Amino acid sequence: MMSFSEEAQSDVPLLSEKHSGIPEFLLEKARAAKADIFEGRTKPKKTRNRLPVLPPGVEEQTFFTALDDLSKQLGAENVERNDKPLTDGWYMEHPNTHDLMTVVDEEEFVPSAMVYPSSTEEVQQIVLWANKYQIPINPISMGRNLGYGGAAPRVRGAVLVDLGKRMNKILDISPEDYTCLLEPGVSFFALYEAVKAKGYDHLWVDVPDVGGGSVIGNTVDRGVGYTPYGDHWACHAGLEVVLPTGEVIRTGMGALPGNNTWQTFPYGFGPYSDGIFSQSNFGIVTKMGMTLMPNPGGYESYAYTFQREEDLHQLIEIIRPLRIGNILENVAQLRHVTQSIAARGKPRTDYYKGEGTIPNDVVHKVAATLPMGDHTWVYYGMSYGPKHIRQYKLDIIDAEFKKVPGARKIDPSTLPPDEYFWARDRVAAGIPELQELRWVNWMPNGAHIAFSPVSPIRGADAKKLYDLAKRRHEEFGIDLFPAFCVGLREMHLIVELVYDRADPTRRKDVLDCLRHLVDDAAACGYGEYRTHLVLMDQVAGTYNWNDNALMKFHEKLKDALDPNGIMAPGRCGIWPKKYRNRGWEMTKDSGENAHGNGLAPPS
């Protein structure tokens, strides 16, 4: 095991060396990001081996026998016990042993072992093995869903099925159909590089804020990007899935032998089943088709700043018709200045060393020194198409935004190359980036977790959610980083709570704040679209119309598809029958306790 200094000084792995590595064009940026992260790390590195973690309801000897059995099937090198010290690493060298950005004690969500299949057939073997020994398994694509639980299982002691390490092939890129077919270990970095290597300049890849995550993992968790193809789940076409009892299905046109439209027509014939495999624990996706965006023939990024906090209502009212009318063509992003300051990658203590939230006067004093000048809100956008088409839309946008007193259009030629604007420019052009990591350095041992409610695109709703978030952040002394991300008909408020993961008091403050926010928002009719492992039960519990009818439906599906309850128990609040109502659910009242009162005996 490397020492702390050796880990900090080791080089970032390249994509050419490792499926989870960095493309060469981002290497220097990755090196700088790693240096900044390790400079702010004060958490002691553990060196002692840990006691074995066991799956719930499984005796130690039975578990070791089961692992020996699986080792004979997959090869001993592809079955690994989780008994070594937990090493955090960082985004590009992330752990699969625990949640790197934990908001509870890091031992709460750890697997008992990690296994590495190389094919759909080996995934089937693992699933059949799990049923035979009644061992829960937790599949991940790459485990970079940081801020939502990373690689961690919801049930301590589950066996982690790390698909990405050995299942990372790009099976097809069709330059005629603008589609691709992927395995779980293909990152956005890897897909982008493959498209470029083939010379397919007419194809674009839509990428999220940071490009190191799995395309499949992000898509099945309903993550987003920032081109017109930003709704990744809407842009997928066709799945291959291993069910919890070991059968393999292909959805859509993939169910037709000899078909040639699996990636071009998502529905096939009969009920559309893909949806039950997103944000669920009903199967393991081993292949997925994805549509690619055509090169629009030109693009132009722009940004506007707005001076006053109270401009928010008017701004959202301006944005709504422009977004619905597709004048604003990509996911509209309206960010608060505090996050713009944090995105520079410097620690909070460079600006303010006091307790509580950073004061407004300090924020605006700092903002006045930055290239974009003082402001409260900044809008980042992109216009696509040839010059004359872009200009038509940009003129409309300019006229509308200039209705806000004090609105200012930023001249990109005045911005330095490392300004955050240019990272947004690249992401909105389908070029993967790393810069979004920088605001996590706001705190030592920086970690983040999100509050992300969905609302209508209305000024009154934006103000209500912003005021709600601001009040709770001030109550718990947490700096507020709000960003309004506007889709075609809905708006997501993404509030990133940044904290020192080595400080149990601050972790508790963040979790308590989030639990209040979830309930506050639900009481106003706003629900989360995605959440961390710790909050899944609470968030699922807010979707309780008609005496929890939706959850009862999910439980019927779970019991039918997964009768032994082995597949990712508890994911998105869906518990198998033998765990149900036995104290496994984590709620506001349960605190940090993630363990239930055993399992129900076999019926």
Query: What residues act catalytically?
Result: 148, 529-530
- 310 C-beta neighbours (distance < 10 Å), count: 10
DSSP for 124-176, please give it.
HHHHHHHHHHT--EEEESSS--TTTTTT--SSTTPEEEE-TTT---EEEEETT
Amino acid (one-letter) located at 464: K
- Please, is 446 exposed, middle or buried when counting C-beta atoms within 10 Å of its C-beta (0-12, 13-18, 19+)? buried
- Given a contact cutoff of 8 angstroms between Cβ atoms, the answer to whether 220 and 277 are in contact is yes
Give exposure, 168-201, as e/b (b: 16+ Cβ within 10 Å).
Answer: bebeebbeebbbbbbbbbbbbbbbbbbbeeeebe
Bridge partner residues of 306 (DSSP): 377
- 450 C-beta neighbours (distance < 10 Å), count: 20
Spell out the residues 6+ positions from residue 190 whose beta carbon is closer than 8 angstroms to its own. Answer: 15, 19, 168, 170
CA distance 294 to 299: 12
Bridge partner residues of 160 (DSSP): 114, 138
- Given a contact cutoff of 8 angstroms between Cβ atoms, the answer to whether 496 and 450 are in contact is yes
Question: In the chain, count of helices (H) and strands (E)?
Answer: 15, 20
Instruction: List the one residue out of 381, 259, 386 whose CA is nearest residue 327.
Output: 381
Give CA torsion, residues 379, 332, 521, 557, to 10 deg.
-160
In the numeric block, which tokens belong to residue 155?
């049930």
What's 11's DSSP letter? P
- Given a contact cutoff of 8 angstroms between Cβ atoms, the answer to whether 431 and 201 are in contact is no
In the numeric block, which tokens belong to residue 307?
């001076």
DSSP β-ladder status, 482-486 and 490-500: antiparallel
CA distance 197 to 78: 31
CA distance 6 to 476: 37
Taking each helix axis from N to C end, the angle separating 459-476 and 504-523, rounded to the nearest 10 degrees, works out to: 150
The rounded radius of gyration (Å) of the Cα atoms in the chain is 24
DSSP β-ladder status, 490-500 and 453-456: antiparallel
